């Protein structure tokens, strides 16, 4: 999730026992604000590669929450470090490892970003069902939390997977597959849904399921990121009920463990890499329902995203959603799109507000539905549908 000037941190986040060690890549501006013990393994111009414990992860989350300028977030890269270690000698080359996070691979367009299917998109936009989204958000935010180490986090992932499977069955879709991607030591899995059977470069639309822990207060996470989760569910519902098929696959993904360092999305991207699944474009929905002062402007984040794809998303908004568009930055690794960017994929990040005017109540018990705009969330679902249809190319 993105953290704004207005946000405040209200409690510690408890995870594994204090002996647990994490390897983390974080910007220097974030580390300056933490009060925790860590060891620097390597550093570069903008980033540090550190080893810390659970208290250090808590401190990083707090620093991310309280930042007043777009410094960004952090990536818990423990799994990647351990995997790379198997391929290296006993002396890990920490500096070379960090270099992969400092300079992202240059991406190239694997598809034509243009408006090609206005009739098909318009047909699906007419099938929008805002009441469904609101009802589903009520269900998701009724959990005490959806924390990635809790049973509730697991249940939320299971619920989403079962719901999409029921949609596919009810609409006679035999071209839909669903599966979990496990997230290391975290209980909560990520949910991946593939629509279509093609092996051509596909379209990814995602959001994260998890919240922080409810150890000290409930974490309903209505906006962060219940709103994004429901936005992607509405894309799934509309696509599957439409009867429309596509030349290219559409992957709808609900990530686990975003809050603790983009852990779930890193496992998902690794899974795509290991299976050689090609991807042409990625869209991340992290908070879609808080409209600051009822402003329905859609914001596009320009850092750690693909410039051409972001420009195309703006074209989609202007063509199909017809709301104002503005641009901002959120800093390093502010949400799961960074996991894709870091591995060389074209990613985009549309968001509910500017960096300094997003929801001030995320990560607290006050992240509830009465502060949210169904109209705003519906517009993001429309954007997701346009993105999917235009890039996956209808075949009927």
User: Is the full-model pTM beyond 0.95?
Assistant: no
Choice among 3-7, 50-54, 351-355 with the minimum mean pLDDT = 3-7
**CA–CA distance, 98 with 281 (Å, rounded to integer):** 25
Count, in order, helices (H) and strands (E) of the chain: 12, 13
pLDDT band at 92 (very low <50, low <70, confident <90, very high): low
**CA–CA distance, 250 with 243 (Å, rounded to integer):** 14
pLDDT average, residue stretch 172-182 = 97
Give me the residue label for tokens 């320009």: 302
Question: Is 16's pLDDT higher than 50?
Answer: no
Tell me what pLDDT residue 12 has. 35
3-class state of residue 47 by DSSP: strand
The domains found in the chain, sorted by start residue, are: 21-102 (no CATH), 118-392 (3.40.630.10)
**CA–CA distance, 286 with 282 (Å, rounded to integer):** 13
200-230 pLDDT tens trace:
999 999 999 999 999 999 999 999 999 999 9
Closest CA to 209 of 267, 140, 266: 140
Tell me what pLDDT residue 85 has. 59
pLDDT band at 87 (very low <50, low <70, confident <90, very high): low
Q: Nearest-5° angle of CA 132, CA 133, CA 137?
A: 120
pLDDT above 70 covers a percentage of the chain that reads 91
Closest CA to 196 of 232, 239, 240, 249: 249
pLDDT band at 59 (very low <50, low <70, confident <90, very high): very high
117-158 pLDDT tens trace:
999 999 999 999 999 999 999 999 999 999 999 999 999 999
pLDDT band at 351 (very low <50, low <70, confident <90, very high): very high
Cα 146 off chain centre by: 15
Question: Is 278's pLDDT higher than 60?
Answer: yes
Helix axis angle for 374-392 and 307-316, nearest 10°, is: 120
Tell me what pLDDT residue 228 has. 98
Question: Is 4's pLDDT higher than 70?
Answer: no
Structure-block tokens of residue 29? 């501006």
Cα 239 off chain centre by: 20
Tell me what pLDDT residue 10 has. 34
Tell me what pLDDT residue 3 has. 42
Torsion (CA) 155, 160, 164, 165 in degrees, nearest 10: -10
3-class state of residue 291 by DSSP: coil
């Amino acid at each position: 999730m993105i953290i704004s000037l207005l946000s405040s941190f209200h409690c510690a986040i408890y995870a594994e026992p204090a002996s647990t060690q994490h390897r983390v890549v974080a910007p220097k501006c974030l580390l300056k604000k933490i009060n925790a013990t860590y060891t620097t393994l390597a550093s570069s111009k903008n980033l540090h590669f550190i080893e810390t414990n659970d208290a250090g992860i808590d401190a990083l989350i707090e620093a991310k929450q309280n930042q007043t300028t777009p410094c960004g977030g952090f990536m818990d890269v423990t799994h990647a470090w351990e995997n790379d270690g198997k391929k290296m000698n006993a002396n890990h080359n920490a500096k070379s490892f960090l270099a992969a996070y400092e300079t992202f691979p240059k991406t190239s367009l694997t598809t034509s970003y243009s408006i090609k299917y206005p009739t098909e998109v318009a047909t699906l936009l007419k099938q929008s069902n805002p009441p469904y989204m609101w009802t589903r958000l009520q269900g998701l935010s009724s959990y005490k939390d959806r924390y990635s180490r809790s049973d509730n986090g697991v249940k939320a992932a299971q619920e989403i997977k079962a719901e999409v499977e029921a949609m596919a069955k009810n609409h006679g879709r035999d071209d839909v597959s669903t599966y979990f991607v496990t997230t290391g030591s975290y209980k909560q899995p990520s949910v991946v849904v593939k629509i279509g059977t093609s092996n051509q470069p596909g379209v990814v639309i995602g959001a994260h399921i998890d919240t922080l822990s409810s150890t000290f207060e409930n974490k309903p996470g209505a906006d962060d990121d219940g709103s994004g989760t429901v936005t992607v569910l509405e894309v799934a519902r509309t696509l599957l009920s439409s009867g429309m098929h596509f030349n290219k696959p559409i992957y709808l993904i609900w990530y686990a463990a975003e809050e603790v360092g983009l852990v779930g999305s890193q496992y998902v991207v690794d899974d795509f890499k290991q299976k050689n699944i090609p991807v042409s474009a990625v869209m991340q929905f992290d908070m879609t329902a808080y409209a600051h002062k009822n402003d329905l402007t859609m914001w596009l984040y320009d850092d750690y995203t693909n410039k051409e794809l972001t420009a195309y998303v703006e074209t989609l908004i202007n063509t199909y959603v017809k709301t104002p568009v503005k641009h901002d930055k959120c800093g390093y690794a502010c949400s799961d799109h960074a996991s894709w960017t870091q591995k060389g994929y074209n990613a985009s990040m549309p968001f509910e507000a500017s960096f300094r005017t997003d929801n001030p109540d995320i990560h607290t018990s006050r992240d509830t539905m009465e502060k949210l705009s169904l109209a705003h969330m519906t517009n993001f679902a429309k954007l997701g549908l346009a993105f999917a249809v235009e890039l996956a190319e209808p075949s009927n």
